[in-house]
Amino acid sequence: MEFLQAHQAVIALAILGMMFVFFMWERFSPEVVATLGAGAFLALGILDTNTVLSVFANPAPITIGAMFVLSGALVRTGALD
């Protein structure tokens, strides 16, 4: 665990970099990449559970998620055409 504590910032940047590459690559859905990234931060102890769950106390992420759902529905139904 000493290695993780000493290099926590480098490990966090590496995880974020890999997530960015996977977001650009678009091989996996964004939900999977984001969930795996959050899981990696939790598993390595970089973030604690309370910090991760506190995101849901803010309505902004839920609003952005709802906008993604609505825009996806509009594209799939052809309503934008």
Same structural domain, 30 and 13: yes
Residue type at 29? S
Domain count, the chain: 2
User: Given a cut of 70, is residue 73 above it in pLDDT?
Assistant: yes
As a whole number, the mean pLDDT across the chain is: 88
Same structural domain, 34 and 6: yes
Same structural domain, 6 and 22: yes
Model pLDDT, residue 1: 62
Q: Which two tokens stand for residue 39?
A: 């899981």
User: Given a cut of 70, is residue 12 above it in pLDDT?
Assistant: yes
End-to-end, the C-alpha distance of the chain in Å comes to 54
Say what angle helices 8-25 and 30-43 make with each other, to 10 degrees: 170
User: Given a cut of 80, is residue 4 above it in pLDDT?
Assistant: no
For 80, list phi and psi in degrees, rounded to 5: -75, -20
Same structural domain, 42 and 59: no
Model pLDDT, residue 43: 93
Same structural domain, 21 and 60: no
pLDDT-based confidence at 62, cuts 50/70/90? Answer: confident
Same structural domain, 4 and 19: yes
Q: Could you report the per-residue pLDDT of 28-61, keeping only the tens digit for each?
A: 998 899 999 999 999 998 999 898 888 778 888 8
Q: Which domain holds residue 3?
A: 1-47
